[in-house]
Structure 1
Amino acid sequence: MIKFILVLLLLFAALLLGHNLIGYEGRVVIATESTVIELTLISSLIIAFIVIILFWLLEWSVKKIIRSLSGSKNWLGALSSRQQNKAFYTALNAYLIGDTEAAKNNIEKSFGGDYNGTNYLLASELHKDKPEKALRLLSYCDEDKPALYLTIKRAQLLLNTSPKAALQTLDALPNKAQQTPIVVNAKLAALAKQDRWLEIKDLITQHKKNLGDTYIEWAQRATHGEFAEIASKSGANALKEKWANLSRAAKKDLANQLCYIQLLMDQNLHQEAETVLIDCAKKHTHAAFLGLFKQLQHANPAASIKFIEQKIKSQADAPEYYSVLAHLAFNSKDYALAQRAINKALELRQNNEDVLLLAAILEQQACYDQANVLYKKLLTHSSLSVDSRH
């Protein structure tokens, strides 16, 4: 574009000043040992202009030849660029509607085109099930292209095969990029693959605001990993000792509470888990606690039933509490209470988990025909859901 503007300026100058030079008697003399060439000023300017144009044409031709020999598909000029653009946008549209085969076939036709590496990024995503090929596709992108997204994609591809290399790749990004949620999550995933839970805790503390809703998830995973390692190596007593030695702030952390209770139940310490669970649930109203109540397995969960019944009194139209009560009763083999509670839950809200529990209750009461009807209903609903997704 700059060269084109310069040519226009030269033409404009020639038109503006050329008529003043027509009668000018100036001469340009080129003398060598055996030859003397004498030109008028006008003819010398015309020759110089033609030489410049020829030089540009030669430069353009050489570049096209080099690119064609190096494998670029731009050697046909504008026609090839149009074909590449068409292939690139066809691949992008096919990918967005889920036609991966068409996307794969078209994206390869864009290779060599100038898309700032986006075509290679899309190609690597389309072949992410083959990490080696996906990484090779990323390497085809010119080094002078924007590196941020390509580097992130390269790290994501390395997560399963070499999490240490993925982490090193992410650490090499500029500091500003390392503050973004996608990079933080990728670094956390790389650390998790290496069971580096303490480092994960430090990282999520630094980026709590950036992580948003995923903070609780990562905090739970970190705590669960740390606590599970203690439980597996040293047993339940070491786990309880670890909890007892935590700071007051750490014990108030929701992720720590959820993981500790879950691990107590995993160690078959359901009564101790119940005590901690009720105490925590009194201070927090989080749906995850209800899921833990449903897992309690001991003969007399009277304290939990009393706690849930108090919740029902204050929120009589909340189906989730009736569902929890039904699970508690079923796990303690009080099938009559379980059936009353689950019927009420289903009256307020249809839920597959609750229907499955009702079928299990009926089966325990030897009402096999009714239970089979519910199982068939669940299977039909499940198949319909799968068909609708396809």
Structure 2
Amino acid sequence: MRRLIVLILLIAAALAALLVAPQVIGEKGYVLISMGSTVIEMTVVSLVICIVLGLLGLWFVWRIVSWLKGVFTGSRQWFGSRSKRKRQRYYYKGIQAFAAGNLEEANKAFGHALDGEFEGTNLLLQAQVNNELGNWERTEQLLNHAADYEQARVAARVMQARMLVAQNKPQQALEALNQLGEEDSKARSVVALKAECLAQTGQWQQIQHELPHWRRVLKKDAVPLAQRAAKGKFAEVASKQGANALKQYWQELPRKQRNDIAFQAAYVDQLIEQGMHHDAQDCLVDWQKDGLKDELVPMLRRLRMPNPAPAIQLMEKAIKQDSMNPQYYSVLGQLAFNAGDLSLAERALMKAIKLKEDPADLMLLAEVSERQNDNSKALAFYKQGMSAVS
């Protein structure tokens, strides 16, 4: 309303100046307009006044049309703050209804607050409501609209991609994320989701190509991603060409990748899945001869062979260096159990639970006792293990 008053005052001042100026300089000036047999003659001042009044009339017509549109959509302002406050009330009402689980009511309320000073958050909220209602087409429309707001662009595309992933459409989710600009694509949520989409579509080579750029953003989460990508690539090679081709592929990798802990873990994992336990043991022992690595130690539990002497010696050496670490005893117990050495398994596991009572170790001890035909001890360990779980 204040802007309208200021505009009217400016127009009045301009008209006053037009009326006074000719009187001061003594020359009014005339304009002659001829259209066929019609002749229109007026002063310059009259012409300017007509033009100004015409423009003012057009402005009022545009405002009236905008108001009529707002009546039907509930999305336009008319004379300022009254409409603004009304949309804000609907916005807050929508949030409250959404929080209470009244999705239909929330959707209706957000529908009356589509435009306004919400920077796209109202659109994001209504998109979430429509997604839960199963209205995917409407959800997509709202998210595309929200992406037009700079502050909501990343959130809108991430929401859209997550919903597509939930619908098992990772390729479409990837396309939605690729609509973001270079700077927006550096956001952690975008990178993590893009990596997930690439993984689900089996684009392991692309992940490995992007990883050097993503490590700074993902930080510690980059290691499991690298491992997953490497494992996917190794599985692809093994399934198509066989285990020997997998070993050859590993040898042909650059030294930097072969020294990468994520690649090492993925390679050993695939060797074990291919049943190549001896090769896996050789790698695990060789890579940890100068010290155990947290990512590789748990993989020793999966080795299954009659005599895993190198792996057992590795764990016994680690125990001598740190005799108070329960994990070392636990791994040694699992190794011995897998090899059928029940005596060593029992001693190691008893030491492990003495240092730290772990349900998995207790359950394994129960299995050891069962194989030793000591059912009473097995039952006691089972009960203790179940108690530790609860």
TM-score over 0.5 for the alignment? yes
The match for 1:295 among 297, 302, 307 is 302
Does structure 1 residue 360 correspond to structure 2 residue 370?
Answer: no
Answering whether residue 291 of structure 2 is matched by residue 281 of structure 1, we say no
Of 166, 176, 179, which aligns to 2:173?
166
1:237 and 2:244 correspond:
yes
Change in CA separation of 1:237 and 1:124 when aligned onto 2, cut-off 3 Å = same
Task: Return the alpha-carbon distance in structure 2 between the equivalents of residues 299 and 128 of structure 1.
Answer: 55
How is 1:138-149 mapped onto 2 (pairs within 5 angstroms)? 138-139=142-143, 141=145, 144-146=148-150, 147-149=153-155
Question: Does the 8 Å CA contact 1:339/1:361 hold for their aligned counterparts?
Answer: yes
The range that moved more, 293-302 or 355-364, is 355-364
Q: Give 1:280 shift.
A: 1.5
How far is 1:174 from its partner? 1.5
Cα distance in 1 between the residues matched to 2:246 and 2:70: 65
Q: In structure 1, how many angstroms separate the alpha carbons of the residues matched to 2:131 and 2:312?
A: 49
Which residue does 2:212 correspond to in 1? 205
Cα shift at 1:275: 0.9
Q: Spell out, residue by residue over 1:124-146, the C-alpha distance to the aligned partner (whole angstroms, 9 max, x if none).
A: 34555658257435257367533
In 1, Cα distance between equivalents of 2:170 and 2:135: 13
Question: Which of the numbers 366, 369, 372 marks the counterpart of 2:379?
Answer: 369
Which stretch shows the higher mean deviation, 288-297 or 350-359? 350-359
Counterpart Cα distance in 2 of 1:142 and 1:207: 26
Aligned twin of 1:132: 136
Maintained 8 Å contact 1:322/1:344: yes
- Aligned 8 A contact 1:301 1:332 in 2: yes
Quote how far apart the aligned CAs of 1:54 are.
9.2
Aligned to 1:62: 65
Please state whether the residue corresponding to 2:145 is helix, strand or coil.
coil
1:84 Cα deviation from its structure 2 partner: 4.4
Taking every aligned residue pair, what percent have the same amino acid on both sides? Answer: 28
Q: Measure, in 2, the Cα distance between the counterparts of 1:284 and 1:372.
A: 34
Kindly provide the amino acid, as one letter, of the partner of residue 68 in structure 2: I
What are the superposed Cα offsets for residues 143-199 of structure 1, whole Å, 9 maximum, x if unpaired? 753334323332333344443333333233221112222222222222222211111
Q: Which residue of 2 aligns with 1:101?
A: 101
Aligned residue in 1 for 2:74: 72
Offset at residue 61 of structure 1 (A): 4.2
CA distance in 2, matches of 1:94, 1:283: 60
Q: Give the superposed CA RMSD.
A: 4.2
> Structure 2 residue aligned with 1:259, among 250, 253, 266?
266
| TM-score, length of structure 1 as denominator length | 0.75
Q: Deviations over 1:287-341 (max 9, x none)?
A: 2212101111112122111111111121122121121112112212222322222
The aligned counterpart of 1:40 is none
Give SS of 1:213's match: helix
Q: Which one-letter code corresponds to 1:361 in the other structure?
A: V
Equivalent pair of 2:329/2:349 in contact (CA under 8 Å) = yes
Using the TM superposition, give the Cα deviation of residue 205 of structure 1 relative to its aligned residue in structure 2, in angstroms: 1.9
Q: Which residue of 2 aligns with 1:332?
A: 339
Q: What is the CA deviation profile of residues 59-95 of structure 1, one whole-angstrom value per residue up to 9, with x for unaligned ones?
A: 54432211222x3356898666546434544655787
Q: Give, in whole Å, the separation in 1 of the partners of 2:236 and 2:306.
A: 29
State the distance in 2 between where 1:281 and 1:126 align: 52
Of 230-239 and 115-124, the range deviating more from structure 2:
115-124
The corresponding residue for 1:25 is: none
Match status 1:123 vs 2:126: yes
Q: What residue identity is the alignment partner of 1:205?
A: P
Check whether the contact 2:333–2:346 (CA below 8 A) recurs between aligned residues: yes
From 194, 216, 222, the counterpart of 1:215? 222
8 Å contact from structure 1 (residues 65, 75) kept in 2? no
Aligned letter for 2:349?
I
**Alignment check: 8 A CA contact 2:223 2:262 kept:** yes
Deviations 1:180-225 (A, max 9, x none): 2222222222222221111110011222212211211111111111
**Matched-pair contact (CA < 8 Å) for 1:125–1:134:** no
Contact 1:81 1:113 in 2 (8 A): no
For 1:150, which of 152, 156, 172 is the aligned residue?
156
The 1:144/1:231 distance shift into structure 2, 3 A limit, reads closer
Structure 1 unmatched runs, 5+: 14-20, 22-27, 34-44, 382-390
**Does structure 2 retain, via aligned residues, the 8 Å contact 1:135–1:157?**
no
Matched-pair contact (CA < 8 Å) for 2:186–2:217? yes
Return 251-260 or 206-215, whichever deviates more.
206-215
